[in-house]
Structure 1
């Protein structure tokens, strides 16, 4: 089970104010740069009739793009109630609501009830979760074709940034924390589920990795 303090921290950090801001930005600009790189790689493999599992999907940028590009349906998992509300609002606006199954909560806690999907995505999710081993194993095991990740690069910049962020969260008495999980461990966990890396790109802070079965 997710630690209660971490769960409460997610609700506090990813609140209605943040969700409204991100939804407004998404409607104005579309998916962000790292999201677009992930989407371009996934859509190149073809989406017709596929099922998507989007874990920690935020306002739904990945899900809506993949449904628009030909995916048949999507399972959308989000731990923040504010972001879940925003994603559902956007799904109705885009006409995708009936093709989406919405699950509110921690994916690891819900995993045994979630079926496999052709495409599984976690964008900027690993850095929000303390138990990377269980999160990656459970999510990668459900990827029948494609598994896409966006998570922090290990390096001085991210270490400093994460230290500053966590210090600020402590000052605010918010139990939420950000995490910097080693790339080697993440890769080993994914590959242990029978997936191989087919795409890699990085920015100063983020790495975009796609695996295929």
Structure 2
């Protein structure tokens, strides 16, 4: 398997995505709003209809995309997360926006391993997550199985430099005893997973190293 980001869950995620990392993300979001790549995901979701929709985000971290989706009219969002470090910051952001009642945050559920434990939603989002999982087919397949109307995900550039960088990072992690790993999955193969489950790509965008693919159910 080619190597972009998967640990031995959940310990690896808690170590890599810790409270300090979560605080930095929350501070940046308060100052600047969504990152450009997250904004592309939100715009695609809005294009397929956020008004009154439910949104499921896998590995949504502090929940910034969900907050913006709710502000654009989404009825409810669900976050499925493996790292507990995001929860305090996510709760503070929800309280600041007065939106806690419209969000469900689920901790410790591996969607790929137990998709039946997560309720379906109109739109499923995976931002900077597929590269954090060794089995992209199971993860994207499970996401497609939960999506009624659309699935949108991001992945890093898949060039030679990116693959070599991932292998180098993984070697350092192995030497330091860090269970976190990175994976550079082939983009066409990831899209094929969605196609086989009834979704057709309707949007492709890019911001820096991040590529965004939006697919709708056919």
Q: TM-score, normalised by structure 1?
A: 0.93
Count of residues paired in the alignment = 211
2:214 corresponds in structure 1 to 210
User: Are 2:205 and 1:201 aligned?
Assistant: yes
Extract unaligned runs of 5+ from structure 2.
1-5
Structure 1 segments of 4+ aligned residues over 4 angstroms from their partners: none
SS of residue paired to 1:145 = strand
1:166 corresponds in structure 2 to 170
1:154 corresponds in structure 2 to 158
Deviations 1:85-133 (A, max 9, x none): 3212211211111111110022224421212100100000011111111
For the residues of structure 2 that align with 1:70 and 1:121, how far apart are their CA atoms? 16
1:178–1:10 CA distance, 2 compared to 1 (3 A):
same
CA contact (8 A) 1:73 1:100 kept: yes
Deviations 1:35-83 (A, max 9, x none): 1111112212321110000110011111101011000001111111011
SS of residue paired to 2:48 = coil
2:45 corresponds in structure 1 to 42
Q: TM-score, normalised by structure 2?
A: 0.91
Deviations 1:153-191 (A, max 9, x none): 211231132123223322331101011111122111111
For the residues of structure 1 that align with 2:209 and 2:77, how far apart are their CA atoms? 28
Higher relative contact order (CA 8 A, sep 6+): 2
User: Are 2:205 and 1:183 aligned?
Assistant: no
Question: Structure 2 matches for 1:11-50, cutoff 5 A?
Answer: 11-50=14-53
